[in-house]
Chains A and B, each alone.
Chain A
Amino acid sequence: DSGVTQTPKHLITATGQRVTLRCSPRSGDLSVYWYQQSLDQGLQFLIQYYNGEERAKGNILERFSAQQFPDLHSELNLSSLELGDSALYFCASSPRPSSHEQYFGPGTRLTVT
């Protein structure tokens, strides 16, 4: 158990819908990262937050957005969902952006039908 929690574990929704994935980092970690794992793209970095502020952006679609709240939990919002958005979404955390190690949560499996 890494100490990073993600909810829900599974999510099934229809095309065009909007969903919110939630992540709670390890106690004391200030930085949160979101990754997407899909069969065709592999594991890809989406976005990073540190202490409530966006720190780095990767291959994140405009239909996707994220935020980190004052209690340090983070939410990833996915809207206008398409079949291709079906994937495993991981959250990871680290004490600071410069920290070398990232600890991953169990992931949320999103299925878009």
Chain B
Amino acid sequence: AQSVTQPDIHITVSEGASLELRCNYSYGATPYLFWYVQSPGQGLQLLLKYFSGDTLVQGIKGFEAEFKRSQSSFNLRKPSVHWSDAAEYFCAVRAGGTSYGKLTFGQGTILTVHP
């Protein structure tokens, strides 16, 4: 069964600083990987996704993520954080090649942005 680990429960950065949120997955075959963001009181918004091809994927709001098969990682990055990026971020994995689409989520990383 697939699983996702987000090692950092809470990260604090200053506005304008760079950001990297870690995600490690466990899945036997090629996974489909996602990052979602949840602002307080809101639903989940898809930031970016990886299915195949180029291992560096670009998403919305200036985020990018890099798939590293050798490290079973899919870390999320942003070169310069804005105060509006404060939210909770979830990494998720979906089994590839299946006919059903269950997402398995990590525990989430809360991002606090200091002015």
Query: A interface vs B, CB < 8 Å?
Result: 2, 4, 31, 33, 35, 42-45, 48, 55-56, 58, 90, 92, 94, 97-107
Contacts and interface: CB of A to CB of B under 8 A. Distances in A.
Contacts of B36: 104
Interface in B60-115: 90, 94, 98-108
A interface SS class: strand
Interface of B: 32, 34, 36, 42-46, 49, 51, 90, 94, 98-108
A48 B42 contact: no
Contact of A100 (B49, B99, B104): B49
B40 to A, nearest CB: 12
B100 A2 contact: no
B102 A2 contact: no
13 contacts: A2-B45, A42-B105, A48-B101, A56-B102, A58-B102, A94-B101, A98-B98, A98-B101, A100-B51, A100-B101, A101-B34, A101-B49, A104-B36
